[in-house]
Amino acid sequence: MYNEKVEKMPLEELRALQNARLSSLVQRVYRDVPFYKKQFDQLGLHPNDIQTVADLHKIPFTRKTDLRDHYPYGLFAKPMEEVRRIHASSGTTGKPTVVGYTQDDLDVFDEVVARSLACAGAQPGMKLHNAYGYGLFTGGLGMHGGATKLGMAVIPVSGGMTERQLTILQDFKPEVICCTPSYAQTLSEELVKRDIDPKELAVKHAVLGAEPWTEAIRAQVERGLQVTATNIYGLSEIIGPGVSQEDFEEKGTGSYIWEDHFYPEVVHKDTGAPLPYGEEGVLVFTTLTKQAFPLLRYWTNDICSINYDSNAKRTHIKMSSIKGRSDDMLIIRGVNLFPTQVEEVIHTLGFLSANYRLVVSREGTMDAVTVEVETVSGTNPEDDQLRQKLQRSIKNTIGLSMTVALKAPNSIPRSQGGKLNRVQDLRKL
């Protein structure tokens, strides 16, 4: 554990720390960010009205559109002289979201990523193969800083150029790799193609995130790379990777949110009402300690639930894996659908690979979904019984009829290094 004192802090103490940090945060943003001052004034809300996390519900959500409206630096709380780094995340449409960090923010970023890496099984003295993209994306530099802080040797490979990644994995012998789950799938398949035995590699732990993934992909990557694969979650607006992390010895029980820095709430996706622990809704964060780019109740759009785990090594709250982003949710004949739901059904059947894609079209006035999924070697893509079996399972589990098309291995597009889009929505063309 990187920071035992904080990671095991008794809940009452943690809450007191959050409350103290929240009230000073609210004073700061009211003073330094005109957007928040205006918002508070219009509501007749005074910073002193926010004393504890139980008062948060009085504050409106901050949404992505608010960030866009103040592009690029309008929500910064510090003058540029105090900013030491700027990152940006490119949305699917329009201008990117721009975020800034003071030196204190970068120190917090390093701290939470160091905690996350240790939680994933990394130790000082190990080497990190960092295959997240370096650049405006927070993944590469974010993981880099945290690994350095933990005392690892970082190999800054960045994304793409798979051939070179394999050479580095074989020759440089990193014990830990971080990349997107879809790229870890690509790497594990390339090993097979080249007849490289994963046991010849030194890699033991894979830290995967930046896009939704399920147990289907975990199984493939753990087998293919001979690693423990854990989830790392984060978003640029809140800091980058390292908002939460799954423990390598507590797989499947959720990812710890480092809640001394990021206060989470889960709220109803339509009404915004706070939901009880364990209920699924939209994840909302308040950045308790951020200096350059603090946010109150930021609406992430990510769907999950949060809960305390009394059997866990640490006291911090855990979040479930992300089902998807609510703006990436498909609406098929009036039913909400996340691609991860299909991924889960494919996994439970066992005879198919975790390489799939959803093709959505409109036939007349009806939405139609085709699930293209690759068989594993040894299963026949022409096997109509298998095809029908998946079709039935999808219908029974998700409640939607979809057409299933079994594909030969290696026929569906792979991640070349970054986030993979598993949906082709022909309705938008």
Binding to ligand DLL (CB under 6 A) within 81-100 occurs at 89
Stretch that binds ligand DLL, among 70-78, 135-143, 214-222, 350-358 (CB under 6 A): 135-143
* Residue closer to ligand DLL (CB basis): 90 or 380: 90
Q: Which of 152, 235, 317, 319 binds ligand DLL (CB under 6 A)?
A: 235
- Type of residue at 215: E
CB of 122 to ligand DLL, least distance (A): 14
CB of 17 to ligand DLL, least distance (A): 25
Exposed (0-12), middle (13-18) or buried (19+): which is 275, by Cβ within 10 Å? middle
Q: Cis omega before residue 413 (within 30°)?
A: no
- Token digits of residue 40: 């508070």
Q: Which of residues 194-213 bind ligand DLL (CB under 6 A)?
A: 209-212
Q: Phi and psi of 270, rounded to 5°? A: -100, -45
Does position 300 interact with ligand DLL (CB under 6 A)? The reply is yes
> For ligand DLL, what does the binding mask look like between residues 321 and 350, x meaning CB under 6 A?
-x--x-------------------------
The owner of tokens 């559109």 is 65
Taking CB under 6 A as the criterion, the residue among 2, 101, 233, 256 binding ligand DLL is 233
DSSP-derived secondary structure letter, 102? E
Supply the minimum distance, in Å, between the C-beta of residue 336 and ligand DLL.
16
Question: How far is residue 83 from each of residues 80, 86, 292, measured CA to CA in Å?
Answer: 5, 8, 7
How many angstroms separate the CA atoms of 194 and 200, rounded?
13
Q: How many CB atoms lie within 10 A of CB 312?
A: 17
Question: For ligand DLL, which is the closer residue by CB, 110 or 367?
Answer: 110
Q: Could you say which of 40, 132, 263, 356 contacts ligand DLL (CB under 6 A)?
A: 132
317: left (phi over 0), alpha (psi -120 to 50) or beta: beta
CA–CA dist 40, 267 (Å, integer): 21
CA distances from 236 to 38, 180, 299, 413 (A): 25, 15, 13, 27
What are the distances in angstroms from CA 41 to CA 38, 57, 63, 230? Answer: 5, 16, 19, 44
Nearer to ligand DLL, 30 or 233 (CB): 233
Span from 162-170, 235-243, 265-273, 383-391 in contact with ligand DLL (CB under 6 A):
235-243
Total number of residues that touch ligand DLL (CB under 6 A): 21
Report how far residue 317's alpha carbon sits from residue 69's, in angstroms, rounded to the nearest whole number: 32
Q: Is 327 exposed, middle or buried (0-12, 13-18, 19+ CB in 10 A)?
A: exposed
Task: Please identify the residue of the shown chain whose CB is closest to the bound ligand DLL.
Answer: 209
Please report how close the Cβ of residue 52 comes to ligand DLL at its closest, in angstroms: 27
Q: From the CB of residue 183, how many other CB atoms can be counted at a distance below 10 Å?
A: 28
Per CB under 6 A, the list member of 236, 287, 353, 415 interacting with ligand DLL is 236
Among 100, 224, 241, 418, binds ligand DLL (CB under 6 A): 241
For ligand DLL, which residue of 231, 287, 289, 375 counts as binding (CB under 6 A)?
A: 231
- String marking each residue 37-76 x if it binds ligand DLL according to CB under 6 A: ----------------------------------------
List the one residue from 189, 259, 302, 343 that touches ligand DLL (CB under 6 A): 302
Residue placing its CB nearer to ligand DLL in the complex, 156 or 409 = 156
Chain residues binding ligand DLL by CB under 6 A are 89, 132, 137-139, 209-212, 231-236, 240-241, 300, 302, 322, 325
